[in-house]
Structure 1
Amino acid sequence: MMLLNCGQPLPLLRHTDVPPRVTENFILTGYRFPNYTLRDCLLSAFRPTNETGNFWTHFLPVFIFLYYFVEVFGWEGAPHSDAPFFYPLWNYFIGVFCLLMASSMAHLLNSMSLVVREVCFFVDYGTISAYTVGSSLAYYYYIHPRAGIAVTGEHNGSLMDLKHEAAPAPMSSYAIPEFNMFFETFYIPSACVVAIICVLSCCNTRQQWRQHRYIIRTLVFLLPFLISSTPVFYRLLTTSPYSTTSSSFTASTAMSTFFYRHCLWLLVSAVFNISKLPERLAPGRFDIWGHSHQWFHCCTFLSILDELHMIKTEVRAILLSSTLLLPPATLSRLPGPTIGSTYGVMFLLQSTIVSIIAWFSWCASCIYGPQIDQLAKEHPKKYLKCH
């Protein structure tokens, strides 16, 4: 049995010494006892367990993301950080922050009990879905085909009057008119519905379909990626909305590069999560450091970082647009973000996700709650032994 140093309160265990529910494929040692106290869990962040790397590979990126995120507010021409223009960006930040913190805390605290373990990962899945909607809001207001482009159409040889400028742009404003109805009506609702489906599916893999859980959890998030990325696909298939001689066009050209890298890191992370490499090739060798879930975390964060850079290029392009009229002005082609259309959407989504998590948590309590006392009797908390 693999143990912590003699002075530590609890030993580390082999996969044969913990409930099957706790074990991971090809990870043989380094397991924490599934009745840790909160203090034990927090201290385990500084001990070599098979969850230590999982915690740090999503906790440290919080600060890296924050460093690159706040740069936007110092750009020349940017409004104040609490201006409506930045509402979508703040919602994107909330989504990423919750994802990284929930993931790191889930890996740190999941040894408190079998029920807590289930709840931790239900919350983890919920924040991933919330992140996809946060991304969708940022895409909608900064990469939408009409985002940041003021109406300059002519009427009898002159600029349209304010009444005409304030009206929504016609379908002909789209290079691909068929996308008009989707972007204007269904894009954000679709992102929310798909996010809820993803939470339901991922939570269910902890109670059913467990044999294929890693494949299901990976593939189920392909759909929100496809829906959320529709504005980016549109931009890649059409010409830039900015004049080729403008500074906005120059700033926006890097968008495609960041998106391709974003996709690459997502693909690599999916490969790690499904294949369970490298521990599949040498079970027991990568129990503490270097196993697939740590690489999965690193790749997913790199994809988020490239996504942030992509969004920032579009924010910069909008800010550099000489015809831009920032919200709450009504002359922008795309209606400006409001509290209801950004924070309100996220609040309703989060409320729904919390309800789903509460339901699955209750089910988990019914399933695993009766096992807690029996588990404590079989493995007394003061079980200490030095070899």
Structure 2
Amino acid sequence: MPLQSYTRDKDKSPLLRWDEVPDDFVECYILSGYRRLHLTAQECLASIFQPTNETLNFWTHFIPLVLFVSKFYHLFFLATDLPFHHPALLPLWCYASGVLLTFAMSCTAHVFSCRSLRLRAAFFFLDYASISYYGFASTVAYSYYLLPRLNLLDPTVMTPYLQSLGWHRVDYSMLMGLYGELVLPVAFVLAVTCTVACCKSRAEDCSYPFAIRTFVFAMPLSMACPVMIESLLFDLRKINPTLFVYFYRRYFWLLVAAFFNVSKIPERIHPGLFDIIGHSHQIFHVFTFLSIYDQMHYVEQGLELFLKSNQPLPTIQGTIGYMLLLTMGLGLVVRTYLQGLGSSKKD
């Protein structure tokens, strides 16, 4: 169908069915509520107050964005006596930028995705990049606020179970030191790789795009494996109940979010019934918000413990420097895939 046939008169109903929009617009089992192509920026903004299939996609991330802006303002300017530019807060600045960028970019993508086919692809490439950016930013916060206080990474601490295995005769301090040196470089590579995989998943010949995106978004979470191992080999529930409860509840929310994102339930069960309210992507947004909200609890606690410790202060190179380098890398990935778009999307 020619691209011009998708453009509708402004006097007609702005909402279309799945067979009246370009294939790139169609979401699985969502039959109606689509906005027309080539809306103006003002019309896109007005649509967030109208019942379309993107309306709640926007609000389920805009409301959390406002909540997190308030939360980070409290942490930086009210919760401590430190100036906002103190080196101890550098990992928190990285983490805050990742959280806020993710929600802001998702809001932008969902609002302005009907400006044009090319802009739609660009917005969602940037959305994938922002999620990878957030994953790396979380690892930066973990590496300073959480990991140094894990018994797992302290060779002098052994449980009776590990001693019975003979681990007390093994000097694994070098291994733990190597992990500490490699955690950020490995997370950096994962962030770039995940963005490449997600951008490729938008290709027309990709059979399982949602499964691929869910899987690669989960890959950076592997950087938190030491916390999981800590709970298995050491009594994390007693040593740090805040970390234990919120960490595992966060991963439960992420599993639920992944289930809805891949299964396309409930719209798969009754196509057309959940076009405006209640489809899987909206539910996915809610549970990802809950996961990050729980993550905030133990990152904040990690900051409090870090400020009471004698740990070396973070450096600009090891925090903001990494984030700037990652931004350039992700920018190159997005630019490459935008240049590779087919002529049908260069409208």
The normalised TM-score by structure 1 is: 0.78
Aligned twin of 1:15: 18
Structure 2 residue aligned with 1:230, among 211, 225, 245? Answer: 225
Q: Deviations over 1:44-67 (max 9, x none)?
A: 111111000101111110111223
Displacement after TM superposition at 1:313 (Å): 1.6
Map of 1:322-337 to 2, 5 A cutoff? 324-325=309-310, 332=311, 335-337=312-314
Structure 2 unaligned runs (5+)?
1-8, 159-166
User: Using the alignment, how far apart are the partners of 1:261 and 1:298 within structure 2?
Assistant: 14
Aligned twin of 1:199: 195
User: Using the alignment, how far apart are the partners of 1:121 and 1:58 within structure 2?
Assistant: 15
Aligned twin of 2:329: 352
Q: Deviations over 1:228-274 (max 9, x none)?
A: x1342354245489xx9xxxx6xx43111000110011000000000
User: Using the alignment, how far apart are the partners of 1:172 and 1:317 within structure 2?
Assistant: 20
Aligned twin of 1:214: 210
User: Using the alignment, how far apart are the partners of 1:126 and 1:312 within structure 2?
Assistant: 25
User: Using the alignment, how far apart are the partners of 2:75 and 2:324 within structure 1?
Assistant: 24
| 1:61 to 2:64 alignment | yes
SS class of match (1:220): helix
User: Using the alignment, how far apart are the partners of 1:313 and 1:55 within structure 2?
Assistant: 30
Structure 2 residue aligned with 1:362, among 332, 339, 343? Answer: 339
Displacement after TM superposition at 1:361 (Å): 1.0
Map of 1:67-106 to 2, 5 A cutoff? 67-73=70-76, 74-75=78-79, 78-106=81-109
Displacement after TM superposition at 1:314 (Å): 1.7
- Indicate if the aligned counterparts of 2:35 and 2:52 stay in contact, CA closer than 8 A: yes
Q: Which amino acid aligns with 1:61?
A: P
Aligned twin of 1:184: 180
Q: Deviations over 1:144-183 (max 9, x none)?
A: 1358x9xxxxxxxxxxxxxxxxxxxx97457583651443
CA RMSD of aligned residues (A): 2.5
Displacement after TM superposition at 1:357 (Å): 0.3
Aligned twin of 2:127: 124
Q: Which amino acid aligns with 2:337?
A: F
Q: Which amino acid aligns with 1:286?
A: F
> 260-269 or 216-225: which moved more?
216-225
Structure 1 unaligned runs (5+)?
1-5, 150-169, 326-331, 373-387
User: Using the alignment, how far apart are the partners of 2:235 and 2:72 within structure 1?
Assistant: 25
Map of 1:202-351 to 2, 5 A cutoff? 202-227=198-223, 229-239=224-234, 252-319=240-307, 321=308, 324-325=309-310, 332=311, 335-351=312-328
> 9-18 or 171-180: which moved more?
171-180
User: Using the alignment, how far apart are the partners of 1:213 and 1:51 within structure 2?
Assistant: 19
Q: Deviations over 1:179-221 (max 9, x none)?
A: 5144322100000000111000000011154320011110112
Aligned twin of 2:48: 45
Decide whether aligned partners of structure 1 residues 273 and 26 sit closer, same or farther in structure 2, where only a CA change above 3 A counts: same
Displacement after TM superposition at 1:70 (Å): 3.5
User: Using the alignment, how far apart are the partners of 1:183 and 1:237 within structure 2?
Assistant: 19
Structure that is richer in helix per residue = 2
- Indicate if the aligned counterparts of 1:29 and 1:50 stay in contact, CA closer than 8 A: yes
User: Using the alignment, how far apart are the partners of 1:194 and 1:208 within structure 2?
Assistant: 24
Q: Deviations over 1:52-93 (max 9, x none)?
A: 0101111110111223333434346x5222210010001000
User: Using the alignment, how far apart are the partners of 1:207 and 1:96 within structure 2?
Assistant: 27
User: Using the alignment, how far apart are the partners of 2:142 and 2:156 within structure 1?
Assistant: 18
Q: Which amino acid aligns with 2:245?
A: T
- Indicate if the aligned counterparts of 1:139 and 1:231 stay in contact, CA closer than 8 A: no
Decide whether aligned partners of structure 1 residues 146 and 345 sit closer, same or farther in structure 2, where only a CA change above 3 A counts: same
User: Using the alignment, how far apart are the partners of 2:29 and 2:35 within structure 1?
Assistant: 16
Aligned twin of 1:112: 115
The normalised TM-score by structure 2 is: 0.86
What is the total number of aligned residue pairs between the two structures? 323
Displacement after TM superposition at 1:38 (Å): 1.2
CA radius of gyration, larger in:
1
Aligned twin of 2:145: 142
Highest relative contact order (Cα 8 Å, sep 6+), 1 or 2?
1
- Indicate if the aligned counterparts of 1:69 and 1:308 stay in contact, CA closer than 8 A: no
Decide whether aligned partners of structure 1 residues 362 and 240 sit closer, same or farther in structure 2, where only a CA change above 3 A counts: same
Displacement after TM superposition at 1:8 (Å): 6.9
- Indicate if the aligned counterparts of 1:142 and 1:314 stay in contact, CA closer than 8 A: yes
- Indicate if the aligned counterparts of 1:276 and 1:292 stay in contact, CA closer than 8 A: yes
User: Using the alignment, how far apart are the partners of 1:303 and 1:220 within structure 2?
Assistant: 17
